[in-house]
């Protein structure tokens, strides 16, 4: 089953996945239009919606989709800020809908109730893991986000990372500032430049690529730690959470 990104809003991606009998799985529809257009263009109807978290740019299209297809199941985290969920799921639960089966992984950090879906060789990571980056800490702590990313890093390396935003180009600039000697990262950055010049999505990436290039998954890498040494106190230089917090704070203020 192939995951396909649909461009939405400014830089969001809605993800879709084909199933049997002209069915379509929809992930994080921030607006309805791209989903309706894709369904009509390919002669498919949405069969289910998966939601990773409550932010409007990931759920804003759901009411219009439910108006068009009233019986759609909506799988979402246990969060009352998503009022139209029909199935609430959390860590260790399984989503079984139509032809699809996903493991649910709770990944707090960006939001308290953020979840990810893993199945069919694909990770729908929402705003937790981006290509070459990670989400801002709007509700969670650095310790929570680090633990969430550590969990995702343990998935099979061939897993396709399908995240919620086209942030890869700006993330690459920061990653190169952190780890300028990383040859894999430099190669990925050059690939991203070519893709964006051709107006192509930089996603999905692979988890193997992220493990080799994404500084937020490389908090134990010597060059990442060396780059962070001046941003933590001497007694924090072996503290993974302190290092991660410093890395996220650096990214938050990074001008590019």
pLDDT for the residue numbered 22: 87
Question: Known catalytic residue: 28?
Answer: no
Pairing of strands 23-27, 45-50: parallel
- CA-CA distances (angstroms) from residue 74 to 85, 108, 128, 162, 180? 5, 20, 20, 19, 43
pLDDT for the residue numbered 20: 78
Question: Known catalytic residue: 53?
Answer: yes
Catalytic residue among 28, 54, 79, 110: 110
Catalytic residue among 54, 57, 79, 114: 57
Q: Which residues of the chain have pLDDT under 50?
A: none
Catalytic residue among 54, 114, 118, 165: 165
Judge contact between 33 and 40, C-beta under 8 A: no
Judge contact between 179 and 207, C-beta under 8 A: no
Q: What is the pLDDT of residues 135-167, one digit of tens each?
A: 999 999 999 999 999 999 999 999 999 999 999
Question: Known catalytic residue: 118?
Answer: no
Judge contact between 13 and 31, C-beta under 8 A: no
DSSP state, residue 140: S
Q: Would you state the structure tokens that stand for residue 116, as one six-digit string?
A: 């990810």
Catalytic residue among 54, 79, 118, 127: 127
pLDDT for the residue numbered 256: 67
Peptide bond into 139 cis (omega under 30): no
Catalytic residue among 54, 55, 114, 118: 55
Catalytic residue among 58, 79, 114, 118: 58
pLDDT for the residue numbered 71: 92
Nearest-5° angle of CA 36, CA 37, CA 40?
85
Ranges of beta strands (E only) in the chain are 3-8, 12-18, 23-27, 45-50, 74-77, 87-89, 94-97, 100-106, 115-119, 122-126, 129-130, 133-134, 160-163, 205-206
């Amino acid at each position: 089953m192939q995951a396909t990104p649909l461009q939405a809003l400014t830089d969001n991606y809605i993800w879709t996945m084909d199933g049997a009998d002209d069915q379509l799985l929809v992930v994080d529809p921030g607006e309805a239009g791209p989903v309706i257009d894709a369904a009509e263009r390919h002669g498919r109807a949405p069969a289910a919606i998966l939601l990773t978290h409550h932010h409007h740019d990931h759920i804003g299209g759901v009411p219009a989709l439910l108006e068009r297809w009233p019986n759609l199941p909506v799988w979402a985290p246990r969060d009352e800020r998503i009022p139209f969920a029909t199935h609430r799921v959390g860590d260790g639960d399984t989503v079984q809908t139509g032809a699809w089966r996903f493991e649910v992984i709770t990944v707090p950090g960006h939001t308290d109730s953020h979840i990810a879906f893993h199945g069919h060789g694909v990770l729908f990571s929402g705003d937790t893991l981006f290509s070459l980056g990670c989400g801002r800490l709007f509700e969670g702590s650095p310790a929570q986000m680090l633990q969430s990313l550590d969990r995702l890093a343990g998935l099979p390396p061939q897993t396709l990372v399908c995240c919620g935003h086209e942030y890869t180009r700006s993330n690459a600039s920061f990653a190169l500032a952190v780890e300028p000697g990383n040859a894999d990262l430099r190669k990925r950055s050059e690939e991203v430049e070519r893709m964006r010049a051709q107006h192509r999505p930089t996603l999905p990436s692979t988890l193997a690529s992220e493990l080799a290039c994404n500084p937020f998954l490389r908090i134990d890498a010597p060059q990442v730690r060396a780059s962070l040494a001046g941003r933590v106190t001497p007694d924090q230089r072996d503290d993974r959470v302190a290092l991660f917090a410093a890395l996220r704070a650096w990214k938050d203020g990074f001008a590019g």
